[in-house]
Structure 1
Amino acid sequence: HRPYIDDVVLVSASGQPMKRETDLIDVWFDSGAMPYAQWHYPFENEKVFENNFPADFIAEGVDQTRGWFYTLHAIAAMVFDSVAFKNVVSNGLVLDAEGNKMSKSKGNVLDPFETIENYSADVTRWYMMSNANPWDNLKFDLKGMEEVQRKFFGTLYNTYSFFALYANIDQFFNKAPQVPLSERPEIDRWVISLLNSLVKEVDADYADYEPTQAARKVQNFVNDNLSNWYVRLCRRRFWKPSEQQNGSKAAMDKDKLAAYQTLYECLITVSKLMAPTAPFFADWLYRNLNNATGMENHESVHLADFPTASDAVIDKALEQRMDYAQRISSLVLSLRKKEKIRVRQPLHKILLPILDNHFQEQVEGVKELVLSEVNVKDIEYVTDTSGILKKRIKPNFKTLGRRLGKDMKDASAAIAALGQEDISRIEKTKQFLLEVNGNSYELTLEDFEITAEDIPGWQVASDESITVALDITLDAALEAEGMARDIVNRIQNIRKDKDFEVTDKIRVALQRDDAIVPAVERYGDYIKAETLTADLQMVETVDGEEIELPGEVKVRISVEKQ
């Protein structure tokens, strides 16, 4: 160290004195010279250097900004009047679940090899990529890893397993001509439209070095739209048996073929979209699909082309209609959960205040789908809610606080005092002119928080501009239908427990009980059709297992193969 090293004089091989270099520079500049040093430029590889400089992107932790990122640019600017790299992909620090720095002395360090062994490399990568914005520190929580493993990878695996199960039964290998999109059901056209919108957005995210956004969008598509909506609503299309012809299966009908082709396209496209972030699972999914169909001449997803979106199949109006269907269904299901009314129990009616004629037309286009999803008999549109629904309004402090400043307190009181007609007008026009202390503020719907109060015999819920009121009163007919649906559920569970094939027909004997007689007598054909039951009987005594039904009803049931 200085100053002692200055007293040391070395002797070169030729006998010349050698002393410490007095002109010093930050050692980070050695790292900053990396783009040139790696090619031994300017002494050789001039063309190679020119083809690779400046770099497309640089990826490192946020702690590298002062040292490496800066010196790379500093040298490039001084020598070439250029930047050293075009894009930055930077991550924050990895902390423990509580936001503390990991330290062996604190005992909060996670072994990365053990973590990967327990959860896989793909789950680890996906969690770290999608959980936090790249510039934020990541609070590494194993519970979050478990959630990604279960909610995303588990959901995608189950969706593929569902497809593979029925594709094998129906011998679907995607060899038949593609059903034209215009001839497919609306729900097929919707998911294909949404898939192509997703491809366009994810492609743009990757191009902009935004892998976090790309991962989140793929995850939302799989969880919310593909699995929880498309597959769930289309199950019957896969379940229905294909006709037999001369002892072998005939060509499946167009509706069923369209369902297979649509789900196949979604799954293989998702495998490509997720491949940069989850390379192993994506390759497993792609190989399983492509090896069965031979549709693409690639051994691996990583040798396939990245998907390209087709604007011709993107239908934003259809996507909006289905978004309304999903939001309305979600509100109704949340009310059922709140009131502890099982979805298998049908209800009479939904009241839906309409925002405008276009909104009603959009909802009418998906009305039957919504009613089927939430198990309600009808939707009644209402234009004047003043005598039916009472709403409350308050300011959205997140959007208005800084904007209104000292007027915020008086504005809050003025907004809270708005009447039902004012609230209805805000919901329809999505704007409002607020006068406070001589100042005028043009507000939008996002500047308000609007909620609805429950009315006798109904439950009310809101989602931004959409409000639903659910009639929760029951009569004998509804209760009988609900009981029939529960009997179907119990029979299906027994089929599963006994490992019956999905094509096996069965015989069912139910112990007679006054609580189930109306359901079996009125909905016997429905029960038989849903469970592939060839023979359904009610008898006084049954040698079988006991099942529990709503209302603390317990009866015995026998389920056997025909």
Structure 2
Amino acid sequence: MNLKNEFGSGKRSMVGPLLIRLRDLGLLVTGLENVSPLMSRAVIEAFIRLHEKGLIYQGSYMVNWSPKLQTAVSDLEVEYSEEPGTLYYIKYRVAGGSRSDFLTIATTRPETLFGDVAIAVHPQDERYSKYVGKMAIVPMTYGRHVPIISDKYVDKDFGTGVLKISPGHDHNDYVLARKLGLPILNVMNKDGTLNEVAGLYCGLDRFEARKKLWSDLEETDLAVKKEPHSLRVPRSQRGGEVIEPLVSKQWFVTMQPLAEKALLAVEKGELTIIPERYGKIYNHWLTNIKDRCIRRPLWWGHRIPVWYIVGKDCEEEYIVARSAEEALRKARDKYGKDVEVYQDPDVLDTWFSSALWPFSTLGWPDELAEDFKRFYPTTMLETGHDILFFWVARMVMMGIEFTGTVPFSYVYLHGLIRDSQGHKMSKTLGNVIDPLDTIKEYGTDALRFTLALGTAGQDLNLSTERLTANKAFTNKLWNAGKFVLQVLPNRDNVSGWQNIEACKFNMEGYLLRLPLPECWVVSKLHMLIDAVTESYNKFFFGDVGREIYDFFWGDFADWYIEASKARLYHSGDDSVVLVAQTVLLYVFGNILKLLHPFMPFVTEELWQALPNRREALIIASWPQSSLPRSTDLVKRFENLQALTRAIRNARAEYSVEPAKRITASIVGSEEVIQYISEEKEVLALLSKLDLDNIHFADSPPEDAKQSVHLIASEGLEAYLPLADMVDISAEVQRLTKRLSKMQTEYEGLKARLNSPKFIEKAPNDVVRGVQEKAAEAEEKINLTKNRLAFLKSTVMLSCSAHSTFRGLCSFLLLEAYYTQSSALITSPERNWLGQIRRLEQSIN
């Protein structure tokens, strides 16, 4: 089996399903089949150019080594956690002194003592000043001597104030050793076992060696004590194992000169980071950047383009070349024709090649390549905020270094997708939401819309409730499209379509001649286009989605579609019908355009179903901005909306049967009455009023005190005769029973609150809950009492309008008593008499 071929075959087999997934999400991806060869060439070229400039070098450096992953990881890939540990106290005898002459050091990692190169104390620590300049014997090393030195780096208050210096296994010790010119000893193999420097402990795992060493120290009387100590443990972000600081020969990129140019790009405004607060994080990282190790001891990846000379020290003799043939030619030119070379077996860090992505995929280093000239630099990069430094900053640095320009003008950072409780998704927690499963249940458009409503840089809690709501939004859009298509003229109605296409919504004069509902919805659409376009330009995608959602559902679907039915089904005037059809098509078509970036599938499907749409929606022109609108007419329709809402609320409050049409008197100024009355049919349809019993006036009607009085807005009121809405006597009886029940419940709550035992023993949150329920009950009781008083006063007013009413009631009841048995009263009359009885009772 050829392992390389197997890996290549596996990679190719994954590309197809990946492309299918991307297409399922509505993404258009092309050219992936040509990316690999372009990337390989670009990676090699970038390495060589950086090496030639002295920005890539080979050197010994302390890295964060992952024994489990067998690779170095960057500082940003190391996570620190506070964990319980142990502080070990060990004797170091002073060479030439007595057996009682020793220094005690405190360390959390005794197994690294085999790599000790010095013992250090603080210059002002008088306890140990007499030992400075002498030698100490490292325990368990067959008498190896190390110098006792002084340095201000030592913390006098930690442990015993004596520090063992192991520069091969501690970052701070490494820096100190470099400053003082001390040697570096490595006692660890790359798999986390101790090497031959550790003598008898060679081959033991680092943690096993720690236990055995401590046991041996105890036997030789060199162990003083050990005590619990809280440790800040470095762990690999990917593997989770404890990181081992290790000095090794690695390939590094000098980052500071590259970072300075990337910082300047933001400072000069060539690059904008969204949201703005991440610009500070970007600046902090690049200002404090360190040289980066780019070597990874892996099999799969871009091989390091370095060749070593067979038989020579690879740390000193190497060739950097674009190919094996070039490397061999350079080697033989330098060392003779008989030399042989072999390539470095390791590969480059993933982020090295990823940093070249914006231009390596377009043909670079051939800057005359058609794709490179056409697409580089791009406008915006959209990615997660968690890889701002890993990927984004490195792309900026490499883009400027190799092309002279930033690879993109804007960086838009989205947040992480979390579960509904705000927890990070993980297989361990079992809260992972699979996009493919989500698409099957809710649809791609609902998923895209849900994710796009997030705010830049903020994590999004993804819940089934959000997905369900946006699936409902998708269905609402589909049903609105079906309605629009059903009411449009037939495709063969040439004159009808000519009239529709002749409408000029971009002309203010045409807009102002439209009826009020049509002028309102078109004006609102034009306002929406401006707001959405501005938000798009500012990359406020969440705002865009919410603005479109509110307009479509709140204005177009809930109001205009309903209002248009008065034109389409009840007008009988073809010209009025045509206006409604034209507005429905115009507004809905523009809604599809605005929504298309969020919901490409359903919008494209509906767009293609609209008559005379010859091009795909994805390439259709964006709606024009700054189109005419009338704020005055918008306010007028808002008054009509306020009136409708007030009537609807009154109907709900008095439990009017949904299908019942009621009487209304509309009161307002002459100007208000004029434009409201012109939309009498719309008002009747939206408010379920009796079209033949809507009255318009500039003063209250005669029966105003027997009506429900509504104030819709300033200068616009309505009066709804109560008797026309409900059976007053039945409503009085219903509310009376309800009031009695509420008062009983209220008294029970008050009794609990008046009990000292309850107040003293019940938890505070329980007491607060009862108090809130009591306050709520009291409010409901007052509202019910007010409504009862109003109903009874209405009856009283009705009676006072007829001075003989009470007498008439008594007469009729008496008459009924004597004549009912003689069957002189018909069934309807009996019902009428029953009403009189109940009315008499309500008065009493």
TM-score normalised by structure 1 residue count: 0.57
SS for the counterpart of 2:358 is helix
- Cross-structure match for 1:305: 621
Larger radius of gyration: 2
Of 354, 374, 383, the residue aligned with 1:31 is: 354
Q: Which amino acid aligns with 2:617?
A: V
Q: Which amino acid aligns with 2:426?
A: S
- Cross-structure match for 2:655: 340
State yes or no: 1:374 paired with 2:687.
yes
Question: Do the aligned partners of residues 324 and 7 (structure 1) sit closer, same or farther apart at CA in structure 2, a change above 3 Å counting?
Answer: closer
Question: Do the aligned partners of residues 330 and 241 (structure 1) sit closer, same or farther apart at CA in structure 2, a change above 3 Å counting?
Answer: closer
Are the equivalent residues in 2 in contact too, given 1:324–1:363 (CA < 8 A)? no
Q: Which amino acid aligns with 2:602?
A: F
SS for the counterpart of 2:476 is helix
State yes or no: 1:195 paired with 2:510.
no
Q: Which amino acid aligns with 2:614?
A: N
Are the equivalent residues in 1 in contact too, given 2:548–2:595 (CA < 8 A)? yes
State yes or no: 1:475 paired with 2:720.
no
Question: Do the aligned partners of residues 478 and 169 (structure 1) sit closer, same or farther apart at CA in structure 2, a change above 3 Å counting?
Answer: farther
Cα offset, 1:347, TM superposition: 4.9
- Cross-structure match for 1:141: 463
- Cross-structure match for 1:88: 411
Alpha-carbon distance in 2 for matches of 1:33, 1:18? 28
Comparing 199-208 and 467-476, the one that deviates more: 467-476
Cα offset, 1:140, TM superposition: 1.2
Are the equivalent residues in 2 in contact too, given 1:272–1:307 (CA < 8 A)? yes
State yes or no: 1:122 paired with 2:435.
no
Alpha-carbon distance in 2 for matches of 1:16, 1:364? 100
Of 93, 104, 111, the residue aligned with 2:427 is: 104
Are the equivalent residues in 1 in contact too, given 2:455–2:540 (CA < 8 A)? no
Q: Which amino acid aligns with 1:19?
A: E
Question: Do the aligned partners of residues 457 and 189 (structure 1) sit closer, same or farther apart at CA in structure 2, a change above 3 Å counting?
Answer: closer
Are the equivalent residues in 2 in contact too, given 1:325–1:363 (CA < 8 A)? no
Alpha-carbon distance in 1 for matches of 2:699, 2:382? 55
Alpha-carbon distance in 1 for matches of 2:418, 2:651? 40
Q: Which amino acid aligns with 1:99?
A: G
Cα offset, 1:474, TM superposition: 1.7
SS for the counterpart of 2:497 is coil
Of 234, 256, 269, the residue aligned with 2:590 is: 269
Cα offset, 1:286, TM superposition: 0.5
Comparing 113-122 and 60-69, the one that deviates more: 60-69
SS for the counterpart of 2:430 is coil
Q: Which amino acid aligns with 1:475?
A: A
Cα offset, 1:220, TM superposition: 1.5
State yes or no: 1:219 paired with 2:549.
yes
State yes or no: 1:318 paired with 2:633.
yes
Alpha-carbon distance in 2 for matches of 1:210, 1:71? 25
Q: Which amino acid aligns with 2:648?
A: L
SS for the counterpart of 1:86 is strand
Alpha-carbon distance in 1 for matches of 2:642, 2:604? 34
- Cross-structure match for 1:531: none
SS for the counterpart of 2:590 is helix
State yes or no: 1:255 paired with 2:594.
no
Cα offset, 1:253, TM superposition: 1.6
Alpha-carbon distance in 1 for matches of 2:357, 2:486? 53
SS for the counterpart of 2:408 is coil
Alpha-carbon distance in 2 for matches of 1:133, 1:270? 22
How many residues are matched?
384
Q: Which amino acid aligns with 1:215?
A: G
Alpha-carbon distance in 2 for matches of 1:468, 1:187? 18
Alpha-carbon distance in 2 for matches of 1:458, 1:476? 10
SS for the counterpart of 2:392 is helix
Please list, as runs of the form range in 1=range in 2, the aligned pairs for 1:443-454 lying within 5 A after superposition: none
- Cross-structure match for 2:297: none
Question: Do the aligned partners of residues 76 and 237 (structure 1) sit closer, same or farther apart at CA in structure 2, a change above 3 Å counting?
Answer: same
Alpha-carbon distance in 1 for matches of 2:627, 2:416? 40
* Cα-Cα RMSD: 4.4
Please list, as runs of the form range in 1=range in 2, the aligned pairs for 1:225-240 lying within 5 A after superposition: 225-240=555-570
Residue deviations 1:274-311 (CA, integer Å, cap 9, x gap): 11111110111011113xxx2x431x211322221462
Q: Which amino acid aligns with 2:498?
A: A
State yes or no: 1:157 paired with 2:478.
yes
Question: Do the aligned partners of residues 172 and 165 (structure 1) sit closer, same or farther apart at CA in structure 2, a change above 3 Å counting?
Answer: farther
Residue deviations 1:199-218 (CA, integer Å, cap 9, x gap): 22222322332322222222
Of 584, 599, 608, the residue aligned with 1:287 is: 608
Alpha-carbon distance in 2 for matches of 1:331, 1:241? 25
Alpha-carbon distance in 1 for matches of 2:471, 2:539? 24
SS for the counterpart of 1:175 is helix
Alpha-carbon distance in 2 for matches of 1:469, 1:259? 28
Cα offset, 1:322, TM superposition: 2.1
Cα offset, 1:238, TM superposition: 1.7
Are the equivalent residues in 1 in contact too, given 2:449–2:598 (CA < 8 A)? yes
SS for the counterpart of 2:562 is helix
Question: Do the aligned partners of residues 341 and 305 (structure 1) sit closer, same or farther apart at CA in structure 2, a change above 3 Å counting?
Answer: same
Question: Do the aligned partners of residues 133 and 20 (structure 1) sit closer, same or farther apart at CA in structure 2, a change above 3 Å counting?
Answer: farther
Alpha-carbon distance in 2 for matches of 1:139, 1:206? 23
- Cross-structure match for 1:12: 308
Residue deviations 1:473-509 (CA, integer Å, cap 9, x gap): 5225998xxxxxxxxxxxxxxxxxxxxxxxxxxxxxx
Alpha-carbon distance in 2 for matches of 1:363, 1:138? 49
Alpha-carbon distance in 1 for matches of 2:636, 2:407? 48
Residue deviations 1:415-456 (CA, integer Å, cap 9, x gap): xxxxxxxxxxxxxxxxxxxxxxxxxxxxxxxxxxxxxxxx99
Are the equivalent residues in 1 in contact too, given 2:445–2:474 (CA < 8 A)? no
Are the equivalent residues in 2 in contact too, given 1:345–1:478 (CA < 8 A)? no
- Cross-structure match for 1:419: none
Question: Do the aligned partners of residues 166 and 35 (structure 1) sit closer, same or farther apart at CA in structure 2, a change above 3 Å counting?
Answer: closer
Are the equivalent residues in 2 in contact too, given 1:96–1:109 (CA < 8 A)? yes
Cα offset, 1:349, TM superposition: 4.8
Q: Percent identity, please.
A: 20
- Cross-structure match for 1:210: 540
Question: Do the aligned partners of residues 164 and 49 (structure 1) sit closer, same or farther apart at CA in structure 2, a change above 3 Å counting?
Answer: closer
Question: Do the aligned partners of residues 321 and 29 (structure 1) sit closer, same or farther apart at CA in structure 2, a change above 3 Å counting?
Answer: farther
- Cross-structure match for 1:536: none
SS for the counterpart of 1:87 is strand
Cα offset, 1:219, TM superposition: 1.6
- Cross-structure match for 2:829: none
Of 498, 513, 520, the residue aligned with 1:176 is: 498
- Cross-structure match for 1:450: none
Alpha-carbon distance in 1 for matches of 2:316, 2:460? 44
Alpha-carbon distance in 2 for matches of 1:330, 1:20? 85
Alpha-carbon distance in 2 for matches of 1:240, 1:382? 30
SS for the counterpart of 1:190 is helix
Cα offset, 1:77, TM superposition: 6.2
Alpha-carbon distance in 1 for matches of 2:380, 2:536? 12
Cα offset, 1:98, TM superposition: 1.9
Q: Which amino acid aligns with 1:272?
A: K
Are the equivalent residues in 1 in contact too, given 2:367–2:373 (CA < 8 A)? no
Are the equivalent residues in 1 in contact too, given 2:664–2:720 (CA < 8 A)? yes
SS for the counterpart of 1:60 is strand
Are the equivalent residues in 2 in contact too, given 1:335–1:459 (CA < 8 A)? no
Alpha-carbon distance in 2 for matches of 1:30, 1:362? 69
Are the equivalent residues in 2 in contact too, given 1:61–1:91 (CA < 8 A)? yes
- Cross-structure match for 2:645: 330
- Cross-structure match for 1:185: 515
Alpha-carbon distance in 2 for matches of 1:363, 1:212? 40
Question: Do the aligned partners of residues 204 and 78 (structure 1) sit closer, same or farther apart at CA in structure 2, a change above 3 Å counting?
Answer: same
Q: Which amino acid aligns with 1:322?
A: F
Are the equivalent residues in 1 in contact too, given 2:654–2:725 (CA < 8 A)? no
